[in-house]
Structure 1
Amino acid sequence: MARSTNTDLRKQLIYSVFVRDFSASGDFRGLENDLKRIKDLGTDTIWLMPVYPIGKVDRKGSLGSPYAIKDYLDIDINYGTKQSFHELVDKIHENNMKVMIDIVFNHTSRDSVLLSEHPDWFLRDNEGTLKNKNEEWTDVAELDYGNLELWDYQIKVLKHYAEFVDGFRCDVAPQVPIDFWMKARSEVTKVNPKMMWLAESTDGEYVRSLRDRGFWSSSDGELYNAFDMTYDYEIDHLWRSYVKGEIDDSTYVAKLNEQTVIYPDNAIKMRGIENHDQSRAHDIIPNNNDLVNWTAFYGFQRGSMLIYNGQEIGAKHTPSLFEREPIEWADIQIDLSDLIKKSHELMQDDIQVDGAYKVVSQGHGIVSVDYQLDDRKRIGVFTLRSNHGIAKVDVTDGIYKNLLDGKEINISNGIIDVKGLPIIIDIG
C-alpha cells in the first residue's frame, strides 16, 4: 500500500468516460468539447475507459468490448491517434483535472500483439488450449503471471503511461497477483511518485469461487498493499438487496461501519451507485426523490466519489459495451449536476476526510451519517425509500442550515423531522 496513501484522495470526484458513447462523434474531440462542463461538476479526475485498439477474433457485438485489447501501446483509430490522445490529456490538464486510464492486465483480445508474439504468456489447459477463469469472457485470452518476462513487459507499459497520465484504474485487479502490483507500484513510483492507483476489487463470493478452483484472487485487504483505492463491491450485493426491499437498512449499515475497522486507517473506498458494468442508478431507483437521496448519501460517504458519464442527467439506459449507443444528453431525466457539485464541495472539508465516521440506521428507510473532528460535527440524514419520519441526533436543539440547499432545519428534543429531502448540517 499504500502506506503512503494520502487520505486527501477522499476528496476526489472521479468522472468515468466511455469515449465511444460520450459524444455524437464518439472520439477524443467530442470529449474535449465538453471538458468545461465536466470540470464544473467538481470533477478532479477523468477516468478514461480503455482507449486501445479492440480485437476482432471472437469479438462480441459489432464493435467489441473495450476490455478486449489488441495492443496496450496503441490507440483505437475510431477515437483518434496517439497524438490526439496526448492532446486530450493536455486539454484535461489545462482544465485543472487529472487523467486516469484503464489498465487491463488480466487478459488481452484473442488476436492481441502479445498472444501473437508471446503465446507462452497465456493461461492454457493440459492440451494447450487457451483457458479462461470466467467462461463468459469468450472474447479474451487470460495472461499467466507465472511468466516473469510478462511482469517486465507490463511494467514497461505502465512506466510509459506514467510519464504523462496521473492514475491507473486496474481492471479485475484481484485476478493479477498482488506481488506483481506491489512491484509495479514500486517501479512506477520512480517515474511518477504521485500516481493514483485504483483497483477494481470484487465481492467475496467471486474471490472464493476463484480460490476454490485454484486461481489467485486477492481480497480488498490484500489489494491495499499496492493500491490507494478499491471499489466497494464487497458490499454492493447488500446495497442492491436493500434497494430491492429484500433486506432492511441495518444489515447494509453494519457493513458500511465494518469497513472502517477491517481495512487500513488510510484506506480509500471509491463510492458509486453506477458504472459501466452495472445498470444505471435511475433504472434501478426510478423514484426521483430516492435517487436524489442516494446520490447525496453516496457523496457523503467516506471515500472518493464516482460519477459515470450520463449519471448527472439521470440517464436510465445502460450503454452496451459491444455497440455504439451515444448518450442522449438532451434527454435530461433529472438534473443532478448541482447536487453532485455541492457534494464535492462538502468533500473538501477535512471533517469528511479524517473525522471519526459512523453510519446509523434510523429505521423506516432513514439513515444518518455522523462525522466528528475535534469539537466539530457534521451530520447527514437521508431518506432512502421515500419515507417521511424522524431522525434522532446528538445535537443541541436549535435552528441549523441545510448545507445542501440553504434551508433552515429545526432540531427539537434531539429530533429532526425528515420530509423527504437529504439534510446535511454542521455543528460547532
Structure 2
Amino acid sequence: MFKLNLRMGALFTLLLSLTFTAVSCDETEYTAEGETYSAAPPDWAYNATIYEVNIRQNTPEGTFNAFAEDIPRLQEMGVKILWLMPIHPIGEENRKGTLGSYYSIVDYTDVNPEFGTKDDFKNLVEKAHDHDMKLILDWVANHTAWDAVWTETNPEFYETDGDGNFFPPVEDWEDVIQLDVENPEMQEQMIQAMEYWVREYGVDGYRADVAYMVPTEFWIDARERLDQIKPVFMLAEAEEPELHQAFDMSYAWDYAQTIRDIGAGEADLSDLDRALSRNFDQFSRSDYRMFFTTNHDENSWSGSDTELYGDNFENFAVLSATVWGMPLVYNGQESGLDKQLEFFEKDEIEWGDYKYEDFYRTLLHLNRDNRALWNGEQGGSYLKSSTDRDDVIFSYKRVADDERVFVVLNFSDEEVEFRFDSGSQGVWSDVFSGEQVEISATMQLEGNSYKLFERRQ
C-alpha cells in the first residue's frame, strides 16, 4: 500500500529482535485445519522474474486491453510473472485525490470499470498464458473502502470503536477501514473471493498487501485451498520469516532501505554487507526473496530512480538483479522512469525510447538462463570477493557448480584501480558484450560503472 514510516520502523524493530534459525529444505511443512500441508513454489517459478504493472499509469487508456498489447514485448524482455496492482472498484467515500487508491476496495469479486470489463481481464490473463507468462493479483485482505459492499451486507466483518463506528487501520490511511481479520466468517468470504479469481479467470497467485497485518493462519488456510485449484505463487509484502509458511516470496525491505541510504550518502558498502548478512541469517535458502530498486510505493513516495540513486542507478539495478532472490522491475523503469508517478491521479508513464530495455533484457535473461541466479535452493551460493578498495568497490560471485556469475561495481565518481583476491582471476564472458575477458590480479573501472561476467557449460 502507500508508504508509511510506521511500516519501516516496525520492520527494523523486527530485524533487531527476531531470532530465526534457517533450515535448508525444498518445502515448508505446516499444519492447517488439523492436517499437515506442504507448500512449495510452483515448478515454473525457479528461474522466474517479476514485473509490476500500474494499469492506470501504464498507457494513455489505462485499461486491461491497452496493457495487453505490451505482453509480447515484456515476454521478449524476459519477464515471467506479471504482478497487477489491485484491479477492483475503488471507494468514493473519503477518497484520496480524484481517482483514489487502488488499495481502497469496494468489491473483491468485481473489476474497476475504468480498467475495462471482466471479459477484458480474462482475455489479459489468457494472453499472458499464451506467451508463457503468469499473472498474479495484488490482494488487500486487511481493510476495505468505507463504502465497500461488506459494510452493508456484513458490517460484523469490521472492527468498530466504542461507539460502533468503523475506523482506519492507521491514521494516514483515512480512505479505508479496518477489517476484523480474526473473524472466521470474514476469513471464509475472503478466501472464497481469492478462489474465485483463480478458478474462474486463471489467475496464478497473489501479492498480499501488508501481509504482516493479517494472521499467518489465514494465509496458510488460503494457500492450501488455492493450491487445491492449481499450484499458485504467493508474494508477501512483508519481511517476517514466519510468513514463508504460506508464501513463496517476501520483500527484501532491509536491503532496499540500505541501498536507498547508500544512494543518499547516509550509509556505505559495509552497511550493505551487514544487510545481506541479516538476510542470509534470517531466511532459509528455500525462501524466495524479492530484490528491487523501486516499486509503486518507493516511486510515488520516496523518489524516482534518479533521485534515489543518482549516477549509481545502473549499479544498484545490476546489484538487485544478481545478488540474491528474484529481481523486480516496475513498469517504466525500462524507459528510465525519472519522475514520481501520482498515486491518486492519472499520471501516465512517459515511455520515450525504452532506453533501458536492452539493459533489463540482458539482466532478466541472465536470471532465466544461468543457474547461479535461480531462485531458492535451485540457485547458487553468494560469495563475497575481496579487493583492496572495498570502500568503493563491491564485488561478489554467485556459484552453482560450473555455472557462475561475477559482479564488480564501482560506486565512486572516479575511475578506480584495484586488486582482486586470487579466486576472481581467469577467463570470463562479459555478459553485456559477449566477449571473452581475462581477469588478472588488477582491474580498472570507470566511476559509477559495473562489470558483469559469467561462466556456463
TM-score (norm 1): 0.89
| Contact 1:11–1:344 (Cα < 8 Å) also in 2 | no
Q: Distance in 1 between matches of 2:327 and 2:165?
A: 41
The structural deviation recorded for 1:385 is: 4.0
| Contact 1:231–1:271 (Cα < 8 Å) also in 2 | yes
Q: Distance in 2 between matches of 1:397 and 1:45?
A: 36
Q: Distance in 2 between matches of 1:73 and 1:227?
A: 22
| Contact 1:123–1:130 (Cα < 8 Å) also in 2 | yes
| Contact 2:256–2:292 (Cα < 8 Å) also in 1 | no
Describe the SS at the equivalent of 2:406: strand
How do residues 32-47 of structure 1 correspond to structure 2 at under 5 angstroms?
Answer: 32-47=68-83
- What residue number does 2:214 align with? 176
In structure 1, the gaps of 5 or more residues are: 202-218
| Contact 2:100–2:345 (Cα < 8 Å) also in 1 | yes
2:347 pairs, out of 311, 322, 325, with 325
1:340 pairs, out of 360, 363, 373, with 360
2:58 pairs, out of 10, 22, 26, with 22
Deviations 1:306-345 (A, max 9, x none): 1111011111112112000111112x4x711112111112
Percent of pairs identical after alignment?
29
2:429 pairs, out of 401, 408, 417, with 401
Describe the SS at the equivalent of 1:72: coil
- What residue number does 1:205 align with? none
How do residues 61-210 of structure 1 correspond to structure 2 at under 5 angstroms?
Answer: 61-163=97-199, 164-192=202-230, 194-201=231-238
| Contact 1:45–1:97 (Cα < 8 Å) also in 2 | yes
Q: Say if 1:235 and 1:126 are closer, same or farther in 2 by CA, change over 3 A.
A: farther
The structural deviation recorded for 1:283 is: 2.8
| Contact 1:10–1:347 (Cα < 8 Å) also in 2 | no
- What residue number does 1:204 align with? none
Task: Please report the RMSD computed on the Cα atoms of aligned residues, expressed in angstroms.
Answer: 2.0
Deviations 1:337-391 (A, max 9, x none): 1121111122122222322113457523321121222355431111234443225
Deviations 1:109-149 (A, max 9, x none): 11000122111111222222223331100000111122110
Q: Say if 1:132 and 1:385 are closer, same or farther in 2 by CA, change over 3 A.
A: farther
Q: Say if 1:391 and 1:327 are closer, same or farther in 2 by CA, change over 3 A.
A: farther
Q: Say if 1:123 and 1:360 are closer, same or farther in 2 by CA, change over 3 A.
A: farther
Q: Say if 1:174 and 1:397 are closer, same or farther in 2 by CA, change over 3 A.
A: closer
Q: Distance in 1 between matches of 2:223 and 2:425?
A: 50
Letter in 2 for 1:406: G
How do residues 227-266 of structure 1 correspond to structure 2 at under 5 angstroms?
Answer: 227-266=247-286
Q: Say if 1:378 and 1:34 are closer, same or farther in 2 by CA, change over 3 A.
A: closer
| Contact 2:77–2:365 (Cα < 8 Å) also in 1 | no
Q: Distance in 1 between matches of 2:40 and 2:257?
A: 27
- What residue number does 1:213 align with? none
| Contact 1:410–1:416 (Cα < 8 Å) also in 2 | no
How do residues 216-231 of structure 1 correspond to structure 2 at under 5 angstroms?
Answer: 220-231=240-251
| Contact 1:299–1:340 (Cα < 8 Å) also in 2 | no
**1:48 is aligned to 2:84:** yes
Letter in 1 for 2:40: T
Q: Say if 1:148 and 1:426 are closer, same or farther in 2 by CA, change over 3 A.
A: same
TM-score (norm 2): 0.84
Residues 369-378 or 337-346, more deviating = 369-378
Q: Say if 1:32 and 1:257 are closer, same or farther in 2 by CA, change over 3 A.
A: same
Describe the SS at the equivalent of 1:285: helix
In structure 2, the gaps of 5 or more residues are: 1-26, 30-38
- What residue number does 2:22 align with? none
Describe the SS at the equivalent of 1:423: strand
How many residues are treated as equivalent by the alignment? Answer: 405
